[in-house]
Amino acid sequence: MKSKIRILLTAGGTGGHIYPLISVTDEIYHLAGEQNRDLEIRYFGPASPLNGEFENRGIKVEKIISSKLRRYFSLNNFIDAFGFIFGFFQALCKIFWFMPDAVFSKGGPGALAVVLAARFYRIPVMIHESDTSPGLTNSLSAKFAKKIFIAFEKTARYFPPEKTKLVGNPVRANILRDVPDQETTKKNLGFNPAEPLILVIGGSQGALKINNFISDNFGEILDLAQIIHQSGPANFLETKKETDFLLQGLGGSYQKRYQLVGYFNQGKDLKEAFAAADLVISRAGSGGIFEIAAFGKPSILIPIPEEVVGEHQIVNAYEYAKSGTAIVIEESNFKSSIVLDQARKILTDPELRKKMSQAAKNFAKPEAGKIIAEEILKLVLNQ
């Protein structure tokens, strides 16, 4: 038996990268504990406010300079080329002193330098791709990966079939454990359990376009349903100022129909928000989609346009919605009348909600984190 198992994690710094890594990490700790194995995990990646999620678990964080890889011409590519070279040598030095048994990468800025440094030392690498269309980091990392995990079936066409495995996108086990019933949760949150509730969530950073939609249609939305609205931390103060003003204009009866939060922690707060919701309005990041699916909630997805982040959110949304789980409204059609009509249609049709909910549950893959953790440990122990 190996005296100590050393595993290195790497990724970009967004919630879409970090939270799946945390899910896998928690499962690795659980499995290693069951097997009575000594374990050390470290994370190498760019500076991020979410790095505290690793530090809270006793995982040492080593910062690697972030460099964005672009498939198109940009002068920033020349600047980031120097950042990438520096990040690569950073990773070489840091890996030399840690010398892990395996590297698990979620892709994103900063991760490729770590993967290439691991390749230099002949350390086995596994990667996970969350989106239907893989990012450039994972497309390049796949050439060196022992195993490639994917969230969507459609993604398999981009990778060698003999080392690709469909697992879904890891969702934190703690938010799926002991989920309270909807009526009780609504009551505990201060809402009327007899009325519908919409959860509006724009990803870990929030979504200004969705925030503006809520403000511009405030009274009409609150006549339709109660609202929990995640604005994103950067937009919280401005959104609160605006919605407080709007609530004052609407009168006291609306005060208990709306709650604003800047950011949900990935624990009790997020679990309660999903448990209470009858409908979710969300961006179409893979992490958000798989959380919605895990809770079996009907949804309206508003993907970020292709010109902003590439096509992956649009393709994610349609791939998810094709089985009847969700309604997709692209930003070119993101008009108040369309969104409100679709929300009203879902909330006033119990049979439709039931069908969408069941389709979401059928799509969900809540064991993704556990499956990846098992494969990582198997790779290490079979070397």
Ramachandran angles phi, psi of 61, nearest 5°: -105, 125
313 labeled binding residue? yes
CB neighbour class for 10 (10 Å; exposed up to 12, middle 13-18, buried from 19): buried
Instruction: State the DSSP code for 153.
Output: G
| Residue 238 Cα distances to 111, 137, 233, 248, angstroms | 34, 35, 10, 16
172 labeled binding residue? yes
Evaluate whether 377 touches 154 at the Cβ level (below 8 Å).
no
10 labeled binding residue? no
**What is d(CA 28, CA 32) in angstroms, rounded to the nearest whole number?**
6
* 150 closest CA partner among 124, 173, 131: 131
* End-to-end CA gap in the chain: 11
204 labeled binding residue? yes
Q: What ranges in 217-259 are assigned the alpha helix state H?
A: 218-224, 236-250
Q: Give the 3-state secondary structure of residue 288.
A: helix
177 labeled binding residue? no
342 labeled binding residue? no
Query: Which residues belong to the annotated binding site for UDP-N-acetyl-alpha-D-glucosamine?
Result: 14-16, 172, 204, 313
Residues of the binding site: 14-16, 172, 204, 313
